[in-house]
Amino acid sequence: MHRYTGMELTIQTPALLFPAVSLLMLAYTNKFLAIANLIRKLYSDYEEKQQLHLLYQISNLKRRLQLIRWMQVMGVASILGCVVTMFFVYEEWQMWAKLLFAGSLLLMIVSLVICLVEIFLSAGALRLLLKDIEEKEDQHQQ
Looking at the chain, the whole-number percentage of residues with pLDDT higher than 70 is: 89
Phi, psi of 135 (to 5 degrees): -65, -40
CA torsion sign for 44, 49, 50, 51 is negative
Query: Domain span at residue 101?
Result: 12-141
Q: Is the pLDDT of residue 25 over 90?
A: no
Per-residue DSSP letter, 1: -
User: What is the rounded average pLDDT of the residues 37-57?
Assistant: 76
In-domain check, residue 3: no
Give the separation between CA 103 and CA 15, rounded to whole angstroms: 15
Confidence of residue 5 (pLDDT cuts 50, 70, 90): low
Total-model pTM: 0.74
In-domain check, residue 136: yes
Number of structural domains the chain divides into: 1
